[in-house]
């Protein structure tokens, strides 16, 4: 009776062992298939990237600009993002590529960030760069200069200086640009432009330029 029970137990253990062996074989096969899929995905990514780069060969020659903390961080970050799009940079490589092109104070700052908190994601990195090196008053200062700007030289010079300040401001609508630009024109150009009721900043600048030219030729506006 005991021998029969032992025989049944051995048979049961043998069946379990066979099933485990079969399961291990299947798992090995699945692992192999997953590895093949990963390789295929990597090959597909590389092939697509190679095709795109072949279509735009000049992109390979572009390089990230260096950043030493003295310039506007938003401009540098935007240039980085443009290059990442052109070169189809993978998300997990963006921070290392950008940080590699940091110099001076910016490089020292990032060294501390990575040492103390590890490698951040790209959105975390970009926000940290803005907080560390961006001016809290940059936009406010530019806005103050914008509303105080006055036309003293040529209309073309005034327009360029005006637009340069607009580029540094946040939230300046088209209507505000038109009003500020017209208000800053010297008399009698300001009154002459206002009488013609331009609809846009471009219209006002064009009108002012034409009226200025007429003045130079000796015509009355």
Please give the average per-residue pLDDT across 130-144, as a whole number: 81
Dihedral of the alpha carbons of 90, 56, 67, 118, in degrees to the nearest 10: 10
For residue 25 the two structure tokens come to 């074989």
- pLDDT score at 38: 53
**Cα gap 98→102, rounded to integer Å:** 7
**E strands, 109-149, where?**
none
Please give the average per-residue pLDDT across 183-205, as a whole number: 95
Q: How many CB atoms lie within 10 A of CB 15?
A: 10
pLDDT band at 168 (very low <50, low <70, confident <90, very high): confident
**Cα gap 164→149, rounded to integer Å:** 11
**Cα gap 50→60, rounded to integer Å:** 11
Reference 77, options 113, 126, 138, 131; nearest CA is 126
Return the sign of the alpha-carbon dihedral for residues 168, 169, 173, 174. negative
pLDDT digits (tens, 9 = 90+) for 111-129: 999 999 999 999 999 999 9
pLDDT at 103 over 70: yes
Reference 138, options 211, 61, 50, 75; nearest CA is 75
Please give the average per-residue pLDDT across 92-107, as a whole number: 95
- pLDDT score at 21: 80
pLDDT at 155 over 60: yes
- pLDDT score at 169: 86
* Nearby residues of 56 by Cβ (< 8 Å), 6 or more positions away: 86
């Amino acid at each position: 009776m005991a021998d029969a029970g032992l025989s049944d137990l051995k048979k049961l253990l043998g069946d379990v062992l066979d099933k485990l062996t079969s399961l291990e074989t299947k798992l090995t096969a699945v692992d192999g298939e997953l590895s093949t899929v990963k390789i295929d995905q990597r090959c597909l990514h590389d092939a697509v990237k190679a095709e795109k780069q072949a279509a735009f060969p000049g992109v390979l020659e572009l390089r990230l600009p260096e950043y030493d903390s003295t310039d506007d961080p938003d401009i540098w970050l935007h240039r980085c993002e443009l290059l990442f799009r052109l070169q189809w940079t993978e998300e997990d490589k963006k921070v290392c590529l950008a940080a590699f092109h940091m110099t001076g104070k910016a490089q020292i700052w990032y060294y501390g960030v990575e040492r103390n908190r590890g490698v951040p994601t790209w959105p975390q990195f970009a926000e940290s760069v803005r907080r560390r090196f961006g001016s809290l008053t940059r936009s406010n200062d530019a806005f103050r200069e914008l509303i105080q700007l006055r036309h003293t030289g040529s209309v073309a010079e005034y327009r360029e200086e005006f637009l340069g300040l607009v580029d540094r401001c946040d939230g300046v609508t088209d209507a505000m640009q038109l009003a500020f630009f017209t208000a800053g024109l010297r008399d009698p150009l300001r009154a002459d432009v206002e009488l013609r009721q331009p609809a846009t900043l471009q219209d006002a600048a064009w009108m002012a330029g034409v009226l200025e030219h007429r003045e130079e030729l000796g015509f009355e506006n």
